[in-house]
Amino acid sequence: MAKRETVTRMSVEQPLWRALRGYRVLTLLYAIGLFVSAYDEFARPWVAIAYFAVLTVWTFATLPKVSGAAACTKRFLTADLTIALVGILLTRVADSAEHIETGSPTLPSIWTAGSVLAFAIKGGWRWAAFASTLVAVANLVHRGSPARDTVHAVILVWVASIAIGYVVEVARASERTLARALEIEAATRERERLARDIHDSVLQVLAMVQRRGAVIGGEAAELGRLAGEQEVALRTLVSGGLTPVSRVSEDVAEGAVVRAVEEPDEPDDADGPLDLRALLAPYAGSRVNLAEPGAPVLLPPAPARELAAAVGAALDNVRRHAGEHARAWILVEDEPDEVIVTVRDDGPGIPEGRLAQAEGEGRLGVALSIRGRLRDLGGSADLISVPGQGTEVELKVPKQMSRGMR
């Protein structure tokens, strides 16, 4: 069944923005509660009331601005921090000197930390350091002297905001790396699938045209030579190539992580499992003997067809390398947890190191058409070959993995 690679988006920053929205509302209520509890100690309570009215309207009106990095603009951050700083400095106007000397909180209280955290999530630790430094200066001006509790609170906000900003930067870098890795994996799997299909069809036809043209001679020989050149070029293409950076992975800079997923390109034409025996039956012939169980060997459509295609690729290798007169045997075993298909021939075998050499030359019959298919199914392909004693390919597909594929 054909599949295509798509992407869905997920951001690890989004929970931080949601938490910041809740923090701003809760700390607004906390600051108002502190003011109400100490109302009698304020010298000019009407100044505090006016400030809290503005702060309440601003907090609720700007909740959409702290819903994500895109909405949280530099202009909003500047205005938000300005309101926090003005509230700190207005405390000396609204509150009595005696109350301030006892260590009373500023008008915005811990609401100010929300403005600093917005800088941290939006721009990282450098933006957080800038905002927290301005808050520290405003607090020192408000108190008039570096009191112990003021210095403690300033350092706490400074360190916490910078730490959060640094964590956000690391998370963004990790998202970009993960997105690129997933994109490369998806592109590589698609390229391997295409390479298998090409190997099973186009490359084999080109190789046959080259061989037949050389035998016939004349104009057919020239046609065979051209087919041979195209075969080499196509093998080089399907066995290599770089994966370009797509627009999707570049979008991660905005805080989105890309997660590759597979979805069906079109519905499969089978309603239920397929009998592997029926798919392997066409391979049987005068020189290919098929031994199978008496009961159906049922697999989901996609794994069944991929396994049958891998068997076909193994038989193609037998004809190509063992000769037209070589005999082959296919043994199908239906085990409780897996299906095992063994393809054995009586050819001359494969010399040691020949498979690695063939893969380096772009001949990917074993690497992609056989091992690649089985790897995608969660199975394995083991090849045993002794020079002069033939070759045996054992293909294993676990039933548990296959049940999840359609």
Mean pLDDT across the stretch 227-256? Answer: 50
More confident site: 193 or 382? 382
Longest Cα separation, the chain: 111
* Closest to 320 measured CA to CA, from 363, 353, 373, 357: 363
On the question of pLDDT at 128 being above 60, the answer is yes
pLDDT tens profile 30-80: 999 999 988 888 889 999 999 999 999 999 999 999 888 888 899 999 999
On the question of pLDDT at 207 being above 90, the answer is no
Q: What is the pLDDT of residue 59?
A: 94
Q: What is the pLDDT of residue 55?
A: 94
In contact, 137 and 89? CB cutoff 8 Å: no
Model confidence band, residue 22 (pLDDT cutoffs 50, 70, 90): very high
Q: Which of 46-60, 101-115, 222-236 has the lowest mean pLDDT?
A: 222-236
More confident site: 311 or 14? 311
H-helix segments, 95-218: 97-101, 111-123, 125-143, 148-198, 204-216
What is the layout of strands, in order, in the sheet containing 328-334? 288-291, 328-334, 338-345, 391-398, 380-385
**Whole-model pTM above 0.75?**
no
* Closest to 124 measured CA to CA, from 171, 54, 68, 176: 171
More confident site: 270 or 252? 270
Model confidence band, residue 242 (pLDDT cutoffs 50, 70, 90): very low
pLDDT tens profile 144-201: 766 666 666 677 777 877 888 888 888 777 877 877 787 777 777 776 666 666 555 6
Q: What is the pLDDT of residue 333?
A: 92
More confident site: 272 or 10? 272
Distance CA 108, CA 24 (A): 11
- Percentage above 90 pLDDT, the chain: 16
More confident site: 384 or 103? 384
Q: What is the pLDDT of residue 402?
A: 57
On the question of pLDDT at 23 being above 80, the answer is yes
Q: What is the pLDDT of residue 83?
A: 93
